Amino acid sequence: MAGNAYPKVSIIVAAYNSEQTIEECLKSILALEYPAGFIEVIVMDGGSKDATVKIAEKYPVKVVSIRLNAPAAYNYAMKIAAHQVLGFIDADAKVEPRWLSKLVPHLEEPKVAGVSGSIETWNAQNPWAKSIGCELKNRYRRIGKYTSRIATMNLLLKKAVIEEAGGWDENLPSQYDTDLGFRISAKGYKIAYEPNAVCYHYNRSTVRAYYRQQLQYGKNTLKLYFKHGRLAKGDEITDFGMNIQPALILAIIVVFLLGIIEVLRSLWYISGLILALMLVYFVYSAAKIAVKFHERVALRLVVLYFVRAFAWFVGAVITTVNCARGKGRKTPNA
């Protein structure tokens, strides 16, 4: 593209207690090989209690500190953004210098609402983080030239299309990107995928941190599927095999508890069989990824798969209980 053909872009970084990564994130954005003056950077801080804001304020970016969840922060940032192309980069991610220049040409394609790049692991020296990165990279490899939705970890979207789709659903603190992607695709648009534009994500480095992250996903996944039932069938990023795992955890627990009754004690064999089948599936999936990427560390995914399935199950239970107690709220976006 000629220099004067590049669109101006407002890049939005949602941050919360991100002092460990925000500096490298902003440095990578400010180092993008793009025409001078064509990039605006807005850091939306959700009320961090660490040095996130202090670090961000050292750089030529606009910092807004207000207690909002990520989708609410994005809606707020859209109102103050100066440009019609919006970039979304997580505070725990950084991008290569030509990330933006590789993405923007796709915005000229008919009915393309946005475009995303591929994801590599930033903190690959940590075995748990590297394992998570292998699994995420494997899921992204299943994406073709276009997709209906993708994470806001590294994404460009046209502001007008977001507005046409109804904005970000603030009742989904996570899974809001899947929801918006579904509504965008329902309008006849698509999201392009450019694997040569690379983003590096700082993955969770402990099993406990991964569980806490996936617990939040589990709480909101149930809300998402109540809103868009078709998504439960899965797609290239989150397939049906992943979606059914929390139900299998429920089946294991229910059948085991029924087996406490002496006349139903044989049900324990069924509970054990389901658990064994899940283990076999997880070992096979982890081994397949380990061979694909030549990374033995990916075998740790067996543990992470069980952690994710259980976290999604617990999250779904929490959401169900909250809804039964009247704490659930109907999402406003249709």
pLDDT digits (tens, 9 = 90+) for 47-91: 999 999 999 999 999 999 999 999 999 999 999 999 999 999 999
Together in a domain, 251 and 103: no
**Digits of tens for pLDDT over the chain (334 positions)?**
544 589 999 999 999 999 999 999 999 999 999 999 999 999 999 999 999 999 999 999 999 999 999 999 999 999 999 999 999 999 999 999 999 999 999 999 989 999 999 999 999 999 999 999 999 999 999 999 999 888 889 999 999 999 999 999 998 988 899 999 999 999 999 999 999 999 999 999 999 999 999 999 999 888 888 788 777 777 778 888 888 999 999 999 999 999 999 999 999 999 999 999 999 999 999 999 999 999 999 999 999 999 999 999 999 999 889 888 876 554 434 3
- In-domain check, residue 86: yes
| Amino acid 334: pLDDT | 34
Identify the domain containing residue 55 by its residue range: 3-204
Given a contact cutoff of 8 angstroms between Cβ atoms, the answer to whether 160 and 114 are in contact is no
Given a contact cutoff of 8 angstroms between Cβ atoms, the answer to whether 197 and 117 are in contact is yes
The three state secondary structure string of 283-307 is HHHHHHHHHHHCCHHHHHHHHHHHH
- In-domain check, residue 247: yes
Q: What CATH number is given to the structural domain containing 82?
A: 3.90.550.10
pLDDT digits (tens, 9 = 90+) for 246-286: 999 999 999 999 999 999 999 999 999 999 999 999 999 99
- In-domain check, residue 277: yes
The distance from CA 55 to its chain's CA centroid, rounded to whole angstroms, is 24
Number of domains the chain is built from: 2
Average pLDDT in the chain:
92
> What phi and psi values does residue 202 have, to the nearest 5 degrees?
-85, 95
CA–CA dist 220, 318 (Å, integer):
10
Together in a domain, 147 and 252: no
In this prediction the pTM is 0.89
Together in a domain, 72 and 8: yes
The domain boundary residue, chosen from 204, 237, 269: 204
- In-domain check, residue 36: yes
